[in-house]
Amino acid sequence: MFIALFARSPERDARDIISPQRLAACFSPEMPTDKEGQWASARAVMAGSLIWNTAPSCAEAVPEIDRESGRVMLSWARLDNRRELCAQLGLETGDGLSAPQILLAAYERFGADCSERLDGDFSFVIFDPSDQSVVCARDIMGAR
C-alpha cells in the first residue's frame, strides 16, 4: 500500500500539510507489514508499506529512489511479464530486480505511457524532483 500527497502550489510546503510519519500512520494498524518507509520534500510527502509475498519483494526498497534521476517511486506491483520487460529494457535478468526497479527503468525508457507495456496487477506513483512532475498509473482492472 502507499499514500502520497503532492502540493500543487510552490508556495505551499507539503510537509506543512502532513508529516511523513503522520501519513504513514494512516495505514490500518490491524494490518501488520514487513517493511515501511517515507519520503518527503517541499512538494511531496509519500509513505508506503509492503507485505512480502514473493522472493523479489523481500528486496524492495520503500520507497524506491532511482540513483541517477532522483525519481522517487512507491508501488504495489506484481509484474507477469518481467522477463519480456527486462529484455526490452536491456536489463540482464528480471529475477534479481524488484518490481519498482523494473518500473523505474520502464518509465525512464517509455515515459508516462510505460504502464501500457505492463502485464499484471499494479499501481504506482513516481515523483520527479527535477521537474516536480507526478505520474500515477494502475492496471486496467484497478486491482491494486
Find out whether the peptide bond into 100 is cis, omega within 30 degrees of 0: no
Q: What CA–CA distance (Å, rounded) separates 139 from 123?
A: 6
For residue range 58-116, list pLDDT tens digits in order.
888 999 999 999 999 999 998 999 999 999 999 986 567 899 999 999 999 999 999 99
- With cut-offs at 50, 70 and 90, classify the pLDDT of residue 33: confident
CA quadruple 68, 20, 12, 112: dihedral sign? positive
pTM for the structure as a whole: 0.89
